[in-house]
């Protein structure tokens, strides 16, 4: 059974991705929104993170916060188009499985991404290794790929 903490974290993550796109469309400071998203959901500020984003080919891994930011909102890596700037109308959690013990939490499942003004969706499989930071969870390892 998946705990409420994991469900809350995954809902916060998907809502955060959608929010970045909304701020972008509205002409707001989407980069600042994305920086806040990364600080809230990823452990970059406290320890090393391993990040393999969904749609990367040239620079496969993004282990630095600036490289992760580039993936979400375009930046210093040429192939990045701004994953969160698509923008996404909805991101549905289709399946989730988890393992929890005293020192780590792992969530693995699928998200279905639906872009704004499009009917086609993209199913993405993910694995998040989560750590506790004070009273919240943060991603230490993120691997995702299209199904």
CA distances from 65 to 34, 48, 109 (A): 11, 10, 24
pTM above 0.85, yes or no: yes
Q: Is the pLDDT of residue 103 over 80?
A: no
pLDDT in tens, 42-58: 999 999 999 999 999 99
Residue 9: per-residue pLDDT: 97
CATH code, 90 = 3.10.450.50
Residue 53, number of CB atoms within 10 A of its CB:
20
The pLDDT confidence band at residue 104, using thresholds 50, 70 and 90, is confident
Domain span at 88? 4-146
Residue pair 66/80 in contact by the 8 Å Cβ criterion: no
The count of structural domains within the chain is: 1
């Amino acid at each position: 059974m998946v705990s409420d903490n994991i469900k809350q974290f995954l809902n916060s993550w998907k809502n955060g991705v959608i929010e970045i796109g909304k701020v972008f469309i509205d002409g707001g400071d989407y980069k600042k929104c994305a920086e806040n998203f990364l600080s809230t959901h990823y452990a970059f500020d406290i320890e090393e993170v391993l990040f393999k984003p969904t749609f990367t080919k040239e620079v496969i891994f993004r282990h630095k916060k600036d490289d992760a930011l580039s993936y979400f909102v375009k930046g210093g890596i040429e192939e990045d188009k701004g994953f969160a700037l698509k923008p996404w109308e909805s991101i549905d959690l289709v399946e989730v499985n988890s393992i929890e013990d005293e020192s780590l939490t792992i969530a693995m499942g699928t998200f279905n991404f639906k872009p704004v003004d499009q009917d086609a969706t993209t199913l993405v499989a993910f694995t998040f290794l989560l750590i506790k930071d004070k009273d919240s969870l943060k991603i230490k390892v993120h691997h995702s790929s299209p199904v």
